[in-house]
Each structure stands twice: as C-alpha cells, then as structure tokens.
Amino acid sequence: MSKRILSCMQPTNRLHLGNYLGALHNWVKLQDEGDNQCLYGVVDLHAITAGHDPGSLAQSTREIAAAYIAAGVDPARSYIFVQSAVPAHSQLQWLFATQTPLGWLKRMTQFKDKAGKKQDLASLGLFGYPVLMAADILIYKATHVPVGDDQKQHLELTRDIAQSFNQHYCDGEEFFPLPEPYITGEATRVMSLRDGTAKMSKSADSDMSRINLTDDADTIAQKIRKAKTDPEALPDNAKGLEGRAEADNLVGIYAALSGQAKEDVLADFGGKQFSEFKPALADLCVDKLSPITARMRELMDDPGELDAILKRGNDKAQSLAAPTLEETMKILGFWR
C-alpha cells in the first residue's frame, strides 16, 4: 500500500548536519521507495513563535526549500509547500486546540527547554506549537512522519489527538489515521560538537557547536578539528562508546554519512586516536555536504524557479488539505 509521507522544518536560521542526518536524509530515502506520496513543508508559522525577523522570513523560507531540493528531494515527485500558504493548517489547529487538554501540553519537554525559566513570558503560540504540528500532519492524513528523535513526543501527542477525535466524534472509526514516526539511522539525535550531552541545534549560541549545510570545506574541517573529545583511543566495538558521549556522536555522524553501522566504522578505526579519525571524518563531511551546498547556492540564485516550485506544492497541498478540513467541520457539526 502506498504511504503518505509528511514532514517539515522551521525556517529559523540555517539547517545543520542534525537536520540533514536526522530527517532530510530519510525524506529522500522514503521518496525513492515504492510509490509513496511525499509532502515536505516549510513551517513558517512555527518560526514566529519565539520572536523572528520579518525582513528575512521569506528568504529563509526559500533557503529551506532550496536545502530540501539540494539534498535530493525531487520537486517533480514530491511536493514542497509553505505552511502559511495553506490556511487549513491553522484552521484545523484551532479545532484541535479546543479539544486538547492543557495537561497534555504541559508535559511537552521541548516547550520547557525552549521557554526555560521564563515560561510566563513565552507566547501562547510556543505553548500550543505541538497542536499546530498535529494539524500539519493530520490535515493530510499522513501515515508516516520522518523526523529526528527530538520530535518523538510531539508525534505521540499527534497520535493522542487523532485517537481522541476518532473516539469522540467517529465512534472509534479511523477518520484520522494514527501516523507512524519514522525515526531511523545511526544519527537520529546528532549532538553538539562542543558538548556531547546537548543536541546540535540551530539556536545554540556557538556556531562551533554545529555544522551548517552552508559551511565551506575549511570551516567544516576547523569545526571537526576543534570538536570536544576525550583522551582515549576509539574502542573497537559499539559497547565501548558507552559513557563517551562525544566519541559516540562523532562515530554516529561518520556511520550515518558513510551509510554504515557504528560497528563497521569501529572495525576500521578501533584503537586509533582522534587525531587520525577527525581528518577522515572532516573529509567525509566535506565530500557529502559540498555538493549540497553548491546546489543550494545555484537554487538561491534563481528565486523565480524556487517560487514556482513552491507555488505548485502549495496548490497540491491546498487541494489535499481543504477536503479534510471540510469533513472535520461537518463531523463537528458546523453550519455548512
């Protein structure tokens, strides 16, 4: 049976290696597999929940779309769309917001991380963000959602929202399918290069903590050279990585980029020092990322072409989303 694949990224800052290995890489894999129907969104409404620069939002949106295509999403086979251009997302979000208990949202760890100690100053939008994410997924009745490990809890909430709607309003019949998370590979949670216990993130203060998809070869090599490690040589099996967060992270990155398991990487590098492993990792990173960076630049030089791709994606997304919204409203008893 063909699957409907849906996933999205926020146009906040530049995409990094974590976004690529945790998500984008699998988006391309799923697109190339069987007769899956794939929709990949740039979620600009999510990007304004914690302050943003209106002067760069549209350009960041194009840049994220360019990164999708440069990484291998084929706009002739998959649809790339902009969330704010498909109003049904926010409309469905409202319907779900009225059905979602506050207690479910209070459990979301990402809100706690992002709002920190200043929860009362965080916006309602940031708090309700996972409900919009549920709407992004369920408006297309998506069956599979390829994401990094950090989105797992949001997907569980999406399933809870779908299940509760089905139970309350559809006598338990599956109006909204329960979407399956697709979290797979050797790098589902890429960690910071400066601290193996923190996630690599777009918003971390130090640019040295992440490899951006737009970094040039020298910058990549420098970031890897300076990446935090421990003084031991690499172990010769994956069990030996336990308790060595930084080593585990770098080996995971190597494995994911080379399409191997960590065990295979350690079969080659076990017993070697980081002074030998890091240059090999830097070369591999540059090899894999530089064609993506170059293609992104070409695409960004032709914003007309990018806009045409997005317009086609928006039209398709709108045509799939509108009937789901209409049916949902009918089920909820609205005047029509």
Residues in 185-214 at the binding interface with ligand TYM, rule: CB under 6 A:
188-190, 199-200
Position 18 contacts ligand TYM (CB under 6 A): yes
CA dihedral 202, 130, 138, 328 (to 10 degrees): -140
The least CB distance from residue 112 to ligand TYM, in Å, is: 15
The least CB distance from residue 39 to ligand TYM, in Å, is: 10
CA dihedral 151, 118, 11, 88 (to 10 degrees): 70
The least CB distance from residue 94 to ligand TYM, in Å, is: 16
1, amino acid identity: M
Tokens for 279, please give them: 């240059």
Q: How many CB atoms lie within 10 A of CB 315?
A: 13
Instruction: Tell the burial category of 29 from Cβ atoms under 10 Å away from its Cβ (0-12, 13-18, 19+).
Output: middle
Give the total residue count for the chain. 336
Instruction: Provide DSSP, 231-263.
Output: SSPPPSSGGGGTT-HHHHHHHHHHHHHHT--HH
Instruction: Give 104 or 268: the residue with its C-beta nearer to ligand TYM.
Output: 104
Residues in contact with ligand TYM, shown as a per-residue x/- string from 228 to 247 under the rule CB under 6 A: --------------------
Cα separation, 263 vs 242, whole angstroms: 13
Among 4, 5, 39, 46, binds ligand TYM (CB under 6 A): 46
Q: Name the closest residue to ligand TYM (Cβ).
A: 22
The least CB distance from residue 280 to ligand TYM, in Å, is: 21
Contact 79, 312 (CB under 8 A): yes
The least CB distance from residue 67 to ligand TYM, in Å, is: 11
Among 82, 139, 147, 234, binds ligand TYM (CB under 6 A): 147
Residues in contact with ligand TYM, shown as a per-residue x/- string from 121 to 140 under the rule CB under 6 A: ------------x--xx---
Does the annotation mark 199 as catalytic?
yes
Does the annotation mark 239 as catalytic?
no
Select from 16-24, 118-126, 246-254, 315-323 the region that touches ligand TYM (CB under 6 A).
Answer: 16-24
Site size for ligand TYM (CB under 6 A)? 25
Cα separation, 285 vs 218, whole angstroms: 11
Contact 67, 34 (CB under 8 A): no
CA dihedral 86, 90, 96, 100 (to 10 degrees): 140
Give the residue numbers annotated as catalytic, written as ranges. Answer: 114, 199, 202
Query: Where along the sequence are the contacts to ligand TYM (CB under 6 A)?
Result: 6-10, 18-19, 22-23, 43, 46, 133, 136-137, 145, 147-148, 150-151, 154, 188-190, 199-200
